[in-house]
Structure 1
Amino acid sequence: MLPWFGMESSPLLAFFLVVGVWIVSDWSIALRHQGSDEETQDRGSKYAIGAAVVGGILAAVLSSQLVPALQVPAPSVAFWLGLGTILLGVLVRQSAVRTLGDGFALEVTVEADDKVVEAGPYRWVRHPSYTGALLSLVGVGISLGNWLSIAVTVLAGLAGYGYRIRVEERALRKTLDEDYLEYAERTPYRLVPGLW
């Protein structure tokens, strides 16, 4: 069930504060890493991510209202767990962006003199920034306390970020060649350790 229907003001305030932290965090990333003069290999993946996030959230909210029979057994627990998941995602994403420093870009841009980064969260997965973003998106679905909302955010996130990862991997393999191929062998997981 949507948190603001029939919910006390404290959880509602908590929801908007946490989502606000997520939005401000992503805006700060966008402001620090605005476009450059480098040639992009993005293939529209930036827009695919935007559509997946906005569409996923809207579909999750609608799902929670249109299919209340799929409410999770403990919605208040799911609500707080969802908020924690959003914040965990923010921390993971900020850590990944900080680790890349000036190498982070909002669009896929890979130059021949770029170096493969294996420090920080890049030890465990090749795209931890997207792991964090996906965690935050799925956290919204969890906080809505509806199985369909959770599934919708997972699927929307995997569609948007999955496309971005394919585009980025292609550019990294083409441009960084052996360095990236060796890193991919040492770090086999793209998004979730042990899964994918």
Structure 2
Amino acid sequence: MGWGMCVLGALLRMHCYRILGPQYTFERSVIREHQLVTSGPYAVVRHPAYTGFEVFHVGLLVVQFGQGSWAWECGVLDSWAGRVVVAGWVLYVYKLVVAVFRRCAAEDEMLRTEFGEKWVRWSQKTTGRLIPGVY
């Protein structure tokens, strides 16, 4: 299950990169001649690349720490030091997940400012930021 989530999340993210083309940047920005993309996965949720990011990272945690994983089988979770390292990694991934939620809100505001009524109409049809009907 974990590997499937990793692959699914990565494929969704790659698909979004391709759809956005040069509009995809790692910084929040609006480039010259920026167009609001509302088709494909962007017709389902407003930030599908981040959905892919989240699915990948949850899958990664399942792969790394689920029953039958290396962490369970090698006994690293039997020591306090191992549990501290694992907790640190889980906290780091949690921080990434929370950062994505914050970034979605900031990007929505930036796109609303840039595209105005067009963004408002799209956001009314595509109400989910990451998960349809949930968030």
TM over 0.5: yes
Match of 1:162 among 94, 101, 124: 101
Q: Return the TM-score normalized by structure 2.
A: 0.75
Match of 1:114 among 31, 34, 42: 34
Matched, 1:172 2:118: no
Q: Return the TM-score normalized by structure 1.
A: 0.53
The Cα shift of 1:127 comes to: 0.3
Aligned 1:13-162 pairs, distance under 5 A: 81-111=1-31, 113-143=33-63, 144-145=65-66, 155-162=94-101
Aligned residue pairs, count: 114
CA distance in 2, matches of 1:153, 1:195: 24
CA distance in 1, matches of 2:52, 2:41: 10
User: Gaps (5+ residues) in structure 1?
Assistant: 1-80
The equivalent of 1:195 in structure 2 is 134
CA distance in 2, matches of 1:129, 1:191: 9
Aligned-residue RMSD, C-alpha: 2.2
Contact 1:189–1:195 (Cα < 8 Å) also in 2: yes
Deviation per residue, 1:127-149 (Å, 9 max, x gap): 00000011111111111117x97
CA distance in 1, matches of 2:91, 2:5: 16
Task: Give structure 1 regions of 4+ aligned residues with deviation exceeding 6 angstroms.
Answer: none
The Cα shift of 1:182 comes to: 1.0
